[in-house]
Chain A
Amino acid sequence: EIVLTQSPGTLSLSPGERATLSCRASQSVRGSQIAWYQQKPGQAPRLLVYGAFSRATGIPDRFTSSGSGTDFTLTISRLEPEDFALYYCQQYGSSPLLTFGGGTRVEIK
């Protein structure tokens, strides 16, 4: 099973700042098959990015992702008030067995 470790656990930033979230895999993720989700309290996760680079429908371009092998990054270029939330990475390189990271909370400083 591929274990995903997200860091930091919590990111304290101000609106307008840049957020950099890390997702590290215990082994190489085939085809960079990583997705990122945003989750707000009491809500289901929302798909942000898939295939490590492709934004889902309706996701603003301030969300970008990069990475390959075992290291992946989600970057939010300028934080908007609605971006303060929990973020999860998910790998599907070992499909059908899927795993999620432990999450990074982006909170208002």
Chain B
Amino acid sequence: QVTLKESGPALVKPTQTLTLTCTFSGFSLRTTGMRVGWIRQPPGKALEWLARIDWDDDRFYSTSLKTRLTISKDTSKNQVVLTMTNMDPVDTATYYCARYGSGSYDYFDYWGQGTLVTVSS
């Protein structure tokens, strides 16, 4: 059974760095082809893809946010970590981690429940 769960602060101040952790089970990032990504959704708005990390440690970022994002993994803990620097109120959103589908196809077959992050002083 595949599960993912996001954790991190519910509230961050402007200019701070956000660190979110995705803890997953039912699969391993040691497995060839496995990939995990982060997606966010501002309240009442659409989904936005942020980043992806692969089993072989390849990393990819949203063009508009790549200077602020870092994605990493700890395969021994089955965790993926996303950091976002210089947080701003417009970054207020629910942040989801999700597993990529099998093969080389970049859809998301399993999602975490999401964690709401509010940026406010």
Q: What residues of chain A have their CB less than 8 Å away from a CB belonging to chain B?
A: 1, 33, 35, 37, 43-47, 50-51, 56, 88, 90, 92, 95-103
Contact = CB atoms under 8 A, between A and B. Distances in A.
Given A100-B46, A100-B47, A100-B48, A44 B96 contact: yes
Given A44-B113, A50-B101, A92 B48 contact: no
Interface stretch (B14-22, B24-32, B74-82, B102-110): B102-110
B114 A95 contact: no
A101 B49 CA distance: 11
Main secondary structure of the interface of A (DSSP, over half): loop
Interface residues of B, number: 23
Contacts of B48: 100
Contact of B114 (A44, A96, A98, A102): A44
Contacts of A98: 37, 49, 106
B100 to A, nearest CB: 9
A45 B106 CA distance: 15
B60 interface: yes
Contacts of A102: 46
10 residue pairs, one from A and one from B, having the closest CB atoms = A92-B106, A35-B107, A96-B60, A44-B111, A98-B49, A100-B47, A95-B106, A50-B107, A102-B46, A47-B109
Nearest to B114: A44
A100 B47 CA distance: 6
A26 to B, nearest CB: 15
A96 B46 CA distance: 19
Contacts of B60: 96-97
A32 to B, nearest CB: 11
A45 B111 contact: yes
